[in-house]
Each structure stands twice: as structure tokens, then as C-alpha cells.
Chains A and B, each alone.
Chain A
């Protein structure tokens, strides 16, 4: 079973602070994704990546940056955190095929005060 690990599991940040959420996958998947989950919205795609060095904007990229320094690691960066970014964030990975499934991490609960 593919393994996707997120850290931290919980994070409390202050408004205006910088937050980095990390994701690691050990299955050599080319594609990685960051979603946020909010009541009434389901999961929404923030950023994704097709491989090391690449990042692409998803459906709601404003206020977020992403970094893919290696095949295994994909980070989501909030340079200036705001309370509206309080959410649960999920990282996922998948093989480079349009019909393949995604494998998700357990999520990071972020609270911005």
C-alpha cells in the first residue's frame, strides 16, 4: 500500500506568520497534490506537481506556494497566514496515468488565530 506521510498533524499559527506543511511519499509517484477540506466545500485543489522541480496552480492557489524539491517531498507554504486558511490540508500522490487512483495522507489540521 502506498504511503503518504504529512507533518505536522496539527498546527496552530498566528495571523501573518509563515507556515510550511510537509508531505513525503515513498512510492516513487510522479504526481503529488495539495487539497484543503472545508465543510460545505469538500476537497479543493490548491497546487500540484508532476515531478521534482515542477509546481502547478490548482483551483484555489491564492495565498499559497508549493515546492517540490525531490520526487519524495512536496511542501505547501503559507507566507502570510490568514484565519481564512484555517482548514484541514491533505496531501496525495499518484502515478503518472490519467486513470490511476490517488493515495492520501492523514491530513494536517491548521488553525490560524
Chain B
């Protein structure tokens, strides 16, 4: 069984700042980790995923994430945020064949 923990419920930054959203997972089998974004009143949209190979994966809109087996982490980063990046971000881990377990989410607020 795999679980995922997002330690920060809220993160506030200014436009143009860099940001890192944290995700830690428990290992119980083959690795599959992903991040999703949810804008207010909308469904979740896929950002990026990792399951093998280069531990740094690139996603849409300048997001990237780095897998670390030693730290059991899959943190999401962006070098320079825009106000439109304000949203809820969910980390997800595969918890069974074709099943995803989501973290509780991190609310990112980007101030102008």
C-alpha cells in the first residue's frame, strides 16, 4: 500500500518568486507518482508524472518535479510563478493497478 503526504496546506508567494510544493510518499511497490492542478471550481488537470528514468521530470507551464528514493519525496517546483498559477495542487501515488491515491492538496496563492 502506498500513501502520500503533502505537509503544507497553504503556500503564499509573490509573482515572479520560485516555489516548491512538497510531497512525500510511502513505498510499497513499483513507483508511480504524479501531480495535478485544480483551479477554483474546476476538475483536476494533469501536470506531470514519474515512474522510471530521469528523476527530474518536466511538466506543463514550466513546472518540474524531482523524484528522490532516499527522501521518499516528489516535490513540485517552478522557477517563476504567475498569478494564474494560484490553484490547489495534488500529489498522487499509485496505490493499486490503475488506482491513484491523492494527497490532501496544497493551496498555492500567488500575490501580485
Contact = CB atoms under 8 A, between A and B. Distances in A.
A41 B4 CA distance: 12
B43 A98 contact: no
Interface in A1-57: 4, 31, 35, 40-45, 48, 50
A76 to B, nearest CB: 15
Given A104-B36, A104-B43, A104-B45, 6 more contacts: A41-B104, A42-B6, A42-B90, A42-B102, A94-B98, A102-B46
Interface of B: 6, 30, 32, 34, 36, 41-46, 49, 51, 90, 94, 97-105
Contacts of B44: 43, 90, 92, 102, 104
A90 B104 contact: no
A107 B43 CA distance: 6
Contacts, number: 59
Contacts of B100: 45, 102
Interface of A: 4, 31, 35, 40-45, 48, 50, 58-59, 90, 92, 94, 96-107
A100 B100 CA distance: 10
A41 B41 CA distance: 17
Contacts of B105: 42-43
A45 B36 CA distance: 16
B6 to A, nearest CB: 8
A96 to B, nearest CB: 7
Contacts of B104: 40-42
Top 9 A-B residue pairs of the complex, sorted by shortest distance between their CB atoms? A104-B43, A42-B104, A43-B102, A101-B46, A104-B44, A99-B51, A106-B43, A42-B102, A42-B105
